[in-house]
Amino acid sequence: MALRSMDALNVEGRRVLLRLDLNVPLKDGKVGDETRIREAAPTVRALAQRGAVVIACSHLGRAKGKPDPALSLAPVAPALARLLGRPVRFVPDVAGDVAKRAVAAARPGDVLLLENLRFEAGEEANDPVFCDRLAALADVYVNDAFGSAHRAHASTAGVARLFKERAAGPLMAREIAALSRVRDNPERPFVAVVGGAKISGKLETLTALARLADTVVLVGGMANTFLLAEGVAVGRSLVEADLVGTAKEILAGAAARGTPVILPTDAVVATGTDAPAHTAAVGAVGPQEMILDIGPATRARIAGILATARTVFWNGPAGVFEKPAFAAGTLAIATALAASAAFTVVGGGESV
């Protein structure tokens, strides 16, 4: 995929709207994990050193189109400043008069961080009026937020079309190159591990991977719908009943191509995420129980498959990993990949 490089842009003395992925966890008003900020810092530094006025923007959490103090990007500014070794001015506005004045007062080499994009309803709606307001802040646009690039939001889609001069940042270019390698020339065996809650949000990805991969491993809530499609009772587990037919089609297509689809054979189950948990075969899940993680036999089987893989694409957790009782499956996959020699691409909202 041909992308215009940020290095090809003339940014000296110009205002650059830089879309970043600064969607970091916050705890008690402080950044809990700086990984995404650390990844973004070199791009910000490079633009500032080239004399740009850097207008950084990002979303954080699910603000639903209105201000939420708990989701402010204010705590990110000092963390970014420390990593850059230069000041970062936090602007408590997205594209209004406060933001306009801050940009007008900025000088080449300055770094501004706008407030959470999702405080504006126009961001997720890709509203043309909001796009115009945001684009009016800058002369040049750079998108370095690969993790948000699939969303047709104002800051990732609508705004980009309004700039004659636009480019991909280095993180974006790196991630696209990695995905292109997986898509176009994967070293085999190629194993796709797909998890997370729902099929609906990953239907196109899952369908494509079922055609590309040598083995498809399904985990997480997504696997429940496939288990149901195979006639396995899953109790009160999260399922998408309206997509059982789609799951059957995907399974039939994979079978016709000779592509194994690996589903959990055992699971960690409970009546709720805070209830006592136990391991059960997937066919023995009680009517009031939920599958909340893959079980030890499934973990061992997946680890064995990954041990022989040469390319792995992993998207989505294996369970409700936020709860320690249901994190073992996701951790087991991560551990197996860390020990693997395979070329690995990991994606998803909780990956870093």
Same domain for 260 and 159 = no
What total number of domains does the chain contain? 2
Cα–Cα distance, 312 to 288 (Å, whole number)? 35
Same domain for 152 and 17 = yes
Mean pLDDT of 203-225: 94
Tokens 């879309």 belong to residue: 19
Same domain for 128 and 14 = yes
Would the pLDDT of 350 be above 80? no
Expressed in percent and rounded to 5, the helix, strand and coil fractions of the chain are 45, 20, 40
Mean pLDDT of 49-78: 97
Tens of pLDDT, residues 307-329: 999 999 999 999 999 999 999 99
Same domain for 198 and 164 = no
Of 171, 201, 221, the last residue of a domain is 171
Tokens 């059960």 belong to residue: 280
The pairing of strands 215-218 and 278-281 is unpaired
Same domain for 257 and 338 = yes
The domain in which residue 324 lies consists of 186-347
Between the alpha carbon of residue 343 and those of residues 18, 55, 297, the distances in Å are 29, 35, 25
Same domain for 104 and 60 = yes
Find the helix or strand (DSSP H, E) in which 332 lies. helix 328-338
Tens of pLDDT, residues 240-264: 999 999 999 999 999 999 999 999 9
Same domain for 203 and 162 = no
Of 146, 171, 196, the last residue of a domain is 171
Cα–Cα distance, 261 to 142 (Å, whole number)? 39
Q: Are 313 and 212 in contact (CB under 8 A)?
A: no
The enclosing domain of 263 has a CATH number of 3.40.50.1260
Q: Answer yes or no: is 179 within a domain.
A: no
Q: Are 229 and 248 in contact (CB under 8 A)?
A: yes
Q: Answer yes or no: is 352 within a domain.
A: no
